[in-house]
Amino acid sequence: MRFWGLGVPDYASDYESSNINGEIETELRLPSVDCEVCMMTSGYAGLRSVPFECPEMLRSEMSSNGDRRSALREEHFDLQRRLFEEAGVQGRPFTDIRPGYRFPPLYFDVPSRPRADFLWPFGGLLVSTRIRILLMDLCQEDLATFPVILRKVGGRDAKFPAPIPRTGEPEDIIKESPLLADPSGVGPYYEVIPRHQSKEHRIIELQCDACGWVKTKVVQTEKWNWRMNEDYWQGHSIFYWGGTLHVVVTENVKDALQAARPSNVEFIEM
C-alpha cells in the first residue's frame, strides 16, 4: 500500500505564493475550551473545518474571528452535543470535532485571478470544479466539499511576476491589487474537508483525556519527513495525516488526480 501527500509546490517567493493562493477567512467557529483538568485553554489554532454547516439555531453561539470566545469544558461538551443533534450528524464531542474548528463556507480573497486546480491559502485546501468532481467520485464517503465565497478577486493573471506591496508584507498584496468589480465569472472553488484522519504518528508528550489537548514532541513539517506507515491507515481514501493539516490520498486517488494533470499541486510519496 502506498500513500501520497498533497503538497504545495515551491514558489519563487512568499509574494508569489500569496498572489496565487490568497487568504481565507471564516465567520463562525467553535469557541476554544478552558479545561479544568489540564488547565489549558486550547483551540485557537484549530484550522480544520467542520464537515457540515452550522445549524441556524447555534450560529449566535459560535464565536467569530474578531471575538475569540472560550467555554468551560462542560459547556463545550454540551454545545458540541447540541451541534451534532441539530445538524443530524453522529459524532463524539472532543473527538470528531475539536474546539476552535471553523464552519463552512469560507470567504476567499486573492490578489490575482485564480485559474489553478489547487489553491493553498494558509490553513485551507481549495480545488477547482473538475478536481472536486474527481474527488467526489473517488472519495465520496470520506470527504465533504463546500463552495467558498469569492469576496475580493484581483484582475491580473498570476503568471506575471508577483507584485511587491509597499509594506513588504505578502498579505498586503491584495490591498494594492486592482480587483474585479464582479467576481461572479471566477471559479467556483471548493474547500476540501477530509472527514477522517490516520492514527497519530507524532510523538505525544502529554495528552488530556478530558479535552483532547495534546503536546507533541516533534512536529515534522518538512516534506522529506512525511512518512505514512500502513499501520496508521484507517481505511480511508483521503484523510488528514494524524493530527496535522496535511492531506493524504491512497494510490488510486493519486493516479486519477495525476491523470487529470492538475495545476499548483505536488504529490509526495510517503
Closest approach, Cβ 208 to Zn ion, in A, equals 3
Name the residue with cell 459547556: 75
Closer Cβ to Zn ion, 74 or 169, answer by number: 74
Name the site residues for Zn ion (rule: CB under 5 A). 35, 37-38, 208, 210-211, 213
Closest approach, Cβ 38 to Zn ion, in A, equals 3
Rounded CA gap, 66 and 191, in Å?
22
Closer Cβ to Zn ion, 38 or 265, answer by number: 38
Peptide bond connecting 31 to the previous residue in cis, omega within 30 degrees of 0: no
Closer Cβ to Zn ion, 37 or 136, answer by number: 37
**DSSP-H helix ranges across 36-148:** 73-87, 129-139
Q: Which amino acid is at 39?
A: M
Closest approach, Cβ 37 to Zn ion, in A, equals 4
Angle (CA) 197 203 207, round 5°: 80
| H/E stretch holding 150 | strand 149-157
Closer Cβ to Zn ion, 130 or 215, answer by number: 215
Rounded CA gap, 44 and 121, in Å?
18
* Contact of 34 with 99, CB cutoff 8 Å: no
Closer Cβ to Zn ion, 72 or 136, answer by number: 72
Q: Which amino acid is at 233?
A: W
